[in-house]
Amino acid sequence: MALWKNEHHQARHLCYAYRFGILKDVYRANDDGEPSNSAGAPILGQIQSYDLTNVLIGVVRYYGGTKLGVGGLINAYRTGAKEAIESGKIITQTVKDRFNLNFDYDEMPLIMNVVKESQADIKKQVFETRCYLRIAVNIEFTEVLLEQLEKFNGLKIEKIGTY
């Protein structure tokens, strides 16, 4: 916010909305002094209508000498957010569970087969006396992968997170 104010020090309002998380349950809308729900809510509404997450949209408004009224403000902020979304690049990513796997070297071929069958991405690997893999697997394959990995007694599995 401070960066926007430095760049747009003559702007009257710097309104924004964001939504984050896999469940899209972390969100906020800010009107920055505009009438209640006339700025942040229309921006958030556009984020919701495009079903986006992990996004922040800010709209900077300069006063041009004409009062817009609440309806005009809502339309202006909604249109600004819509144009930002349509002119931006939407990146679609698959939600994945991420794990660290630690195991003995002699189990490496069998564990690697299970990991490859699950179509997991190997993000990091270390093969020494004790081996280490950091993997990312599509959440729909997680249950099957974990069932397969339970067969290995010396394997330690640490879930890093889901994102």
Q: How does pLDDT run across 50-102, given as a tens digit for each residue?
A: 999 999 999 988 877 788 899 999 999 999 999 999 999 999 988 999 999 99
Alpha carbon distance 115, 109 (integer Å)? 10
For 94, phi then psi, to 5°, come to -80, 135
Q: Indicate the average pLDDT of the chain.
A: 92
2-87: CATH number = 3.30.230.30
By three-state DSSP, how is residue 145 classified?
helix
Quote the pLDDT of residue 70: 95
According to CATH, where is 3.30.230.30 located in the chain? 2-87
Alpha carbon of residue 133 to chain centroid: 24
Quote the pLDDT of residue 55: 96
This prediction has a pTM of 0.72
pLDDT band at 30 (very low <50, low <70, confident <90, very high): very high
Please tell me the class of the 96-162 domain: alpha beta
Mean pLDDT of 138-155: 95
Tokens of 7: 């760049």
Alpha carbon distance 106, 116 (integer Å)? 17
According to CATH, where is 3.30.70.1110 located in the chain? 96-162
